[in-house]
Amino acid sequence: MSDRTPEQELEAFLGPRPPEPLPVEQLGIVVGGSLSEGLTVKLDRNTVIEGLAVGRYVVIRGQTGRRFFSIVTDVQLDALNPLIEKSPPDTSDPFMAQVYGGTAVFGQLEVAPMLVLEPGEDEPKPVKTVPAHFTPVLPASEDEVGLIFGREDEAGFFHIGEPLEMEGTHVALDLERFTERSAGVFGKTGTGKTFLTRMLLAGLIREDVAVNLIFDMHNEYGWKGQTEGRQEVKGLRQLFPGGEVSVFTLDEASSRRRGSRVDAVVRIGYEQIEPEDVDSLSSLMALSDVQVGALYFLRRVLGRDWVARLLDEDDPLAELDTALERGTIHGGTLGAIQRKLGMFRRFDFLGHGVSQDPVRQILDFLDRGRNVILEFGRYGNSLEAYILVANYITRRIHEHYVNRTEAALGTREGEPRPLVITIEEAHKFLDPAIARHTIFGTIARELRKYNVTLFIVDQRPSGIDPEVMSQIGTRVTCLLDDEADIRAVFSGISGAATLREVLARLDTKQQALIMGHAVPMPVVVKTRTYGTREFYAALGVGLSGDSDEDFEQARTLLSGDPQGAEGI
């Protein structure tokens, strides 16, 4: 006969009981508000008001078992009697302070209910009603955050950070949805846009939800990057040494100096440039409408070599004599175009008689599922070069995708892999004056019709065409100061007014407000730190060993063995 109690017997059979979860402390109760304006929550006296911040998640437990997932949009101080503000009591006496605190004077929250979870269901739905007066408000638990955003161990989800004041709770982004529409990372300079973008790209590559083409203006994504403290972090190529990432460069010398291992050097022949490519630079080159119109005329008359011939000062351009005589084209216009195209002479990646087709090469990589990073080297400092090349490549790749998608219409087979194109300084491509004409404006408006979406990185969202901006499905926004920029990132987002304060109060570093298509409700996250041992380990990257060897090998290849860089 055992001398153990029945409980001990059960524990011996079933194993020790899991520890009882700690009771969640109530923050306060709902005391007013509306669905459109948000709810007012009176904080309990034991709730430390300084411990609450805008952007934090709370859960309101309704009378019917519904859970209303809400976000804190404002924190306020209030008093039972406004007179107390004119004549405050002597709170140097701890007794008086204790009595008044939380009763005569108290804290309030404004919270915006976003989603509701019906009892017995695990799929949150948009909120259509509000909880009653005096409904308790509690901090959201890790399980509840997981219920809303999904879990990082699910396929297609990637841990991007922690909600405010919820250390250890992971917010996972649904990358399938992230790539379903164009997305953007916004924030003023120095707020960590690049690190955030690189982390999101790492997620996209790891989860293999889409293939990426990254126009790497400042050479920060490929082999390695630097923190503001000049500390080196691994680039995507090092993070994914298994061949998932390929690096192309426009500036081989720069890549070699930086020790970057590249797969190919991109060169573009003058004869491959079309008037549309030059048109995308019209604002930067100060081309007038007449001059832009003349580009198309010149292409038609001079043929494929039109750029080379216009740049050749010795070419008499005899074909244009008649047109000049008739006044079809003005001599001044022709001269201005020639002068302005002269800028191309500074770009060594442009030249005569380039036989290879860089677009074909990139497409081959993309079709094989290899993500392509195009480093600009020293040309990253030239906005003209960046826009020219990005437009040139994207226009052709998009055309290819359109053809392939249309060919595959009706059957899923043969459809190209979803492609995400990352561009920086996006407002230069998507300026209201040119967005309607550029390929990037077209892609943004098409959503995922042809399996191509944009991932734009920008510090000046107010410079982006509002129509394009309204098509940006997921917006990851770091701190923005400018009122016009704040207004721009909220365009087309319902309930934006309540989130303005949240955005304006973000930390300057490592905090972002994520809203839109990929998240069921807006979330402020302390973004995951890129470049730490933990981050590398989570992605399964060794800290030394192979990766460093790769680095040294690449350096050797680039400096000593030209086969390391395969010219196109």
The footprint of another protein (CB under 8 A) covers: 45, 80-81, 83-84, 87, 89, 93, 95-96, 98-100, 102-104
Cβ of 483: how many Cβ atoms within 10 Å?
Answer: 11
Q: How far is the CB of 81 from another protein (least distance, A)?
A: 5
**102 vs 259, which CB is nearer to another protein?**
102
**43 vs 350, which CB is nearer to another protein?**
43
Q: How far is the CB of 82 from another protein (least distance, A)?
A: 10
Q: How far is the CB of 24 from another protein (least distance, A)?
A: 24
Q: In 341-353, which positions are buried (b, 16+ CB within 10 angstroms) versus exposed (e)?
A: bebbeebebbeee
Q: How far is the CB of 107 from another protein (least distance, A)?
A: 15
**26 vs 91, which CB is nearer to another protein?**
91
**31 vs 496, which CB is nearer to another protein?**
31
User: Could you say which DSSP state residue 255 is in?
Assistant: H
**96 vs 543, which CB is nearer to another protein?**
96
Q: How far is the CB of 103 from another protein (least distance, A)?
A: 4
Please list, in sequence order, all residues whose beta carbon lies within 8 angstroms of the beta carbon of residue 193, skipping any fewer than 6 positions away.
185, 186, 187, 457, 459, 478
SS (H, E, C) 87-123: CCCCCCCHHHHHHHECCCEEEEEEEEEEEEECCCCCC
**101 vs 432, which CB is nearer to another protein?**
101
**107 vs 377, which CB is nearer to another protein?**
107
The whole-angstrom separation of Cα 284 and Cα 298 is 20
**Burial category of 45 from C-beta neighbours within 10 Å (exposed 0-12, middle 13-18, buried 19 and up):** middle
* Coil/strand/helix, residue 39: strand
Dihedral pair phi/psi, residue 67, rounded to 5°: -115, 125
Helix (H) or strand (E) holding 234: strand 232-234
**13 vs 95, which CB is nearer to another protein?**
95
**Burial category of 487 from C-beta neighbours within 10 Å (exposed 0-12, middle 13-18, buried 19 and up):** middle
In 3D space, the residue among 262, 238, 259 whose CA is nearest the CA of residue 248 turns out to be 262
Q: How far is the CB of 85 from another protein (least distance, A)?
A: 10
Q: How far is the CB of 88 from another protein (least distance, A)?
A: 9
**45 vs 417, which CB is nearer to another protein?**
45
Q: How far is the CB of 40 from another protein (least distance, A)?
A: 18
* Coil/strand/helix, residue 474: strand
Q: How far is the CB of 92 from another protein (least distance, A)?
A: 13
User: Could you say which DSSP state residue 164 is in?
Assistant: T
Contact 394, 454 (CB under 8 A): no
**87 vs 563, which CB is nearer to another protein?**
87
Please list, in sequence order, all residues whose beta carbon lies within 8 angstroms of the beta carbon of residue 226, skipping any fewer than 6 positions away.
220, 232, 233
Contact 68, 113 (CB under 8 A): yes
Cβ of 182: how many Cβ atoms within 10 Å?
Answer: 29
In 3D space, the residue among 148, 104, 117, 113 whose CA is nearest the CA of residue 132 turns out to be 113
Q: How far is the CB of 83 from another protein (least distance, A)?
A: 5
